Structure 1
Amino acid sequence: MSFVTDTTNDLDAAAVARDEDKDVDQAEHRDATAEADADLADANADDEDDEADEETDEDEEADEDEGDEEAEDDEEADGDSEAKAGSGSGRAATDLFRESEIAADYVEGLLDILDYDGDIDELVVSGRPVVEVVEGGDGSGKRLQALVGQRGATLEALQELSRLAVFRQTGSPSRLLLDVGGYRALRRKELGAIAKNAAEKVKEYGEAVRLEPMSAFERKCVHDVINALPGVESESEGVEPSRRIVVRPTA
């Protein structure tokens, strides 16, 4: 007796199994591809986020730079920004008066050397040490004007020397203000007129007006006047000694 084995069903089952395995492989391949695509998309998204963060950082840095420049102009508008570092707005009045005393002693010694007569006042005004040299009542006013110089250039130099004298004794930079013969008060009035005239031109023609180069003290005087007027604004441009003020319409 012979037995005939029907292998058809077995072959069909094997084929089905192979097809199922193939389908599983294809599904796994599709899953792997989808996962890779998702990872690539995430990576691209991360790169875009990084680029966006970098751009944001660059924008923030640019804003900070502009803010620093504006802050420098604001400091200049507060007067003589070069000597302000480390001065300390909360410094005690006794320390400020001490600075004016040191500067007064220095100026007095200088007057003795030059054989100039003048009375010296030691003050603290608006949280700032001040030394004023005034006429002594003997007609010394004209001689004192030599300490002012053209456009106050000599006065500015003497002020820096006085600040250095203070620094040598205190170890701290000083915002000392030195005046001779009431020059600064007179110059402040002149600059007020210049600032108002520039503001009128700006309002009339709608164009920016550039003033002549000025010292830090003079720029402060102009800023103070312009800031109090409607419709105009001011900022400084350039570098010393050619730094000047530009008055323009308010944006």
Structure 2
Amino acid sequence: MTHAQDNAAVEQAAGSRAEEEGDIAADYLEELLDIADIDGDIDIEVRGGRTHLSIVQEEGDESALRELIGRDGAGLEALQELTRLAVLTQTGNRSRLMLDILGYRQGRTAELERMAEQAIAKVKDSGDSVALQPMSAYERKQVHDVVADRGLHSESEGEGAKRHVVVMPAE
């Protein structure tokens, strides 16, 4: 097998594994929504070898899904972890699937970029480090990426639910 064929085989295996994860996760989420008597449709997409699931609602009252997101996305994060555990239980493989509800993550990404830009401006003006609010590992990664793109330095500090990003002047 050539190197290109080898890479193609690995990508195909990752793609089919991501599709399998998506199917298992969607079944789990559908059952959970049924038990909770919450209306929602589940969209599955594989991007870059990672499974992305979205719970959406075409029409009607979105309040139950908004409650599922929870304060600062805490419910969404918990549901994502439970879904990953359901996939692990059935496949024996850890999943990096991403779950979104009503486009929350997309809106949150824009909010995180604004927060990072504001922190960068403060650091450039004052020369002092700026600590941001606690956030999930995924959100911290997004902030670190924005900070690095602007030529500054950032680190995560704190433990558990208090873990946050500190933006620092370029070294």
Q: TM-score, normalised by structure 1?
A: 0.62
Runs ≥4 in structure 1, deviation > 2 angstroms? 88-91
1:123 and 2:15 correspond: no
**Whole-angstrom CA distance in 2 between matches of 1:90 and 1:207:** 48
1:142 and 2:67 correspond: no
What's the RMSD between the two structures over aligned residues? 1.6
Partner residue, 2:24: 102
- Pick the aligned partner of 1:162 from 59, 79, 83: 83
Cα distance, 1:153 vs structure 2: 0.4
| 1:217-236 paired onto structure 2 within 5 Å | 217-230=138-151, 232-236=152-156
- Number of matched pairs: 162
Which digits, 9 at most, give the CA deviation of each residue in 1:179-234, with x for residues without a partner?
0000000001001000000000000101110111111121122112112113x111
Unaligned runs of 5+ in 2: 1-9
Cα distance, 1:91 vs structure 2: 5.3
Q: What fraction of aligned residue pairs are identical, expressed as a percent?
A: 50
Unaligned runs of 5+ in 1: 1-87
Cα distance, 1:136 vs structure 2: 2.8
Change (3 A) 1:229 1:178: same
Partner residue, 1:248: 168
Q: Which structure carries more strand by proportion? A: 2
Letter in 2 for 1:134: V
Name the larger-Rg structure.
Answer: 1
Partner residue, 1:84: none
Change (3 A) 1:206 1:128: same
Partner residue, 2:6: none
1:210 and 2:128 correspond: no
Change (3 A) 1:242 1:93: same
Letter in 1 for 2:160: E
| 1:46-61 paired onto structure 2 within 5 Å | none
Partner residue, 2:114: 193
